């Protein structure tokens, strides 16, 4: 973690803790000095935190002023509010950017972070310019959860996203990669479990329960007015690639799909160069 922190500093970012009016306190990596580049917000997956964008910072920081928050109850972000939905997360991120004086930005969200990005785009169309969704299925349904649970041989999605032991943590890692690196000692998963999954456990479970998307009684998913890039790994075992094409059909002509071959749920880790090139090229379009 210390190395990642130093790495972010090297690329002109500093860690800020911002108290919001809605009860949240957000840790965010933000530019030490703004360079008048387009602002870009990066939203991490469930169970991770802002530093997980370490492989994107060198590439993205060349063209954008980066804002990389820990979502509420991940990393060092917390809240006194009882709200747990992705709507609340969206409100927190937008208010955070307001505190930084940023009133128009692009947003990239992966998995759970994509759910938050989608809500931000729908709720605040005047501030969200373009959206990139990475292996994120806001159009998911109960069937996708059932398939995931059956594949992993567990009782619930929470058992996958919040492993209680290092073996389950390894299973979570395997979901993210098309091919997990051959040499991956067990202590990696044990250390990761302690660092990421043993903090705010109760609140994270409440976030899963409070998720509005993807339930049998969920309201119809709204469309978006923004241009949307949908990036997906073709071997995603969490959200099948079919959800990418269904989402594109739902959003219409302003959405496009980019599928990365031989990649699973985390192309930003597994195919760093290709992923970064796809996202940067899209966001640099006039």
**May I ask the CATH class of domain 2-139+215-283?**
alpha beta
The mean per-residue pLDDT over the stretch 128-132 comes to 99
Look at residue 146 and tell me whether its pLDDT is greater than 90.
yes
Name the most confidently modeled range: 1-15, 75-89, 179-193.
75-89
Rounded (5°) CA angle 125-140-106: 30
CA gyration radius for the chain?
18
The mean per-residue pLDDT over the stretch 50-64 comes to 96
Q: Residue 193 has what DSSP assignment?
A: I
Q: Would you place residue 154 in the very low, low, confident or very high pLDDT band (cuts 50, 70, 90)?
A: confident
Could you give phi then psi for residue 63, rounded to 5 degrees? -120, -15
For the chain, the domains span 2-139+215-283
Q: Would you place residue 147 in the very low, low, confident or very high pLDDT band (cuts 50, 70, 90)?
A: very high
Instruction: Indicate the burial class of 230 (C-beta count within 10 angstroms; 0-12, 13-18, 19 or more).
Output: buried
Instruction: Indicate the burial class of 255 (C-beta count within 10 angstroms; 0-12, 13-18, 19 or more).
Output: buried
Look at residue 260 and tell me whether its pLDDT is greater than 70.
yes
Q: Would you place residue 186 in the very low, low, confident or very high pLDDT band (cuts 50, 70, 90)?
A: low
- pLDDT for res 4: 82
Look at residue 194 and tell me whether its pLDDT is greater than 80.
no
Look at residue 166 and tell me whether its pLDDT is greater than 80.
no
- pLDDT for res 173: 82
- pLDDT for res 251: 99
Look at residue 29 and tell me whether its pLDDT is greater than 80.
yes
Look at residue 77 and tell me whether its pLDDT is greater than 80.
yes
Name the most confidently modeled range: 149-163, 170-184, 192-206.
149-163
The mean per-residue pLDDT over the stretch 167-180 comes to 84
Question: Is the model more confident about 144 or about 188?
Answer: 144
- pLDDT for res 195: 66
Task: Give 87-118 pLDDT, tens digit per residue.
Answer: 999 999 999 999 999 999 999 999 999 999 99
- Strand blocks (E) in the chain: 13-19, 24-31, 39-43, 65-69, 78-79, 105-110, 128-134, 227-233, 255-260
Mean pLDDT of the chain: 93
Residue 228: name the closest of 86, 129, 93, 127 by CA. Answer: 129
Q: Which helix (H) or strand (E) holds 277?
A: helix 272-283
Coil, helix or strand at residue 47? coil
Question: Is the model more confident about 52 or about 170?
Answer: 52
How far is it, in rounded angstroms, from Cα 12 to Cα 27?
A: 16
- pLDDT for res 167: 77
The mean per-residue pLDDT over the stretch 160-167 comes to 83
Token pair 């479970």 in the structure block, residue: 205
- pLDDT for res 201: 92
């Amino acid at each position: 973690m210390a190395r990642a922190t130093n790495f972010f500093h090297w690329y002109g970012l500093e860690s800020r803790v911002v108290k919001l009016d809605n009860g949240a306190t957000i840790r965010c990596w933000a530019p030490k000095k703004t360079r008048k580049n387009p602002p870009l917000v990066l939203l991490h997956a469930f169970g991770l935190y802002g530093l997980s964008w370490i492989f994107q910072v060198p590439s993205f920081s060349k063209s954008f002023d980066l804002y990389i928050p820990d979502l509420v109850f991940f990393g060092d972000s917390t809240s006194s509010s009882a709200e747990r939905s992705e709507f609340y997360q969206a409100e927190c991120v937008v208010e955070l950017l307001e505190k930084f004086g940023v009133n128009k930005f692009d947003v990239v969200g992966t998995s759970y972070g994509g759910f938050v990005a989608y809500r931000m785009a729908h709720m605040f169309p005047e501030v969200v310019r373009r959206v990139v969704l990475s292996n994120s299925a806001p159009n998911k349904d109960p069937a996708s959860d059932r398939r995931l649970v059956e594949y992993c041989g567990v009782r619930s999605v929470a058992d996958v996203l919040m492993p209680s032991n290092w073996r389950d943590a390894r299973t979570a890692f395997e979901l993210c990669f098309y091919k997990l690196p051959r040499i991956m000692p067990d202590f990696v998963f044990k250390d990761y479990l302690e660092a990421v999954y043993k903090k705010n456990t109760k609140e994270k479970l409440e976030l899963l329960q409070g998720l509005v998307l993807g339930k049998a009684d969920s309201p119809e998913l709204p469309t978006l007015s923004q241009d949307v890039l949908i990036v997906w790994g073709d071997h995603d075992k969490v959200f099948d690639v079919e959800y990418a094409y269904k989402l594109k059909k739902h959003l219409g002509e302003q959405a496009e799909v980019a599928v990365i071959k031989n990649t699973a749920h985390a192309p930003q880790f597994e195919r760093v160069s290709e992923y970064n090139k796809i996202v940067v090229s899209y966001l640099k379009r006039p």
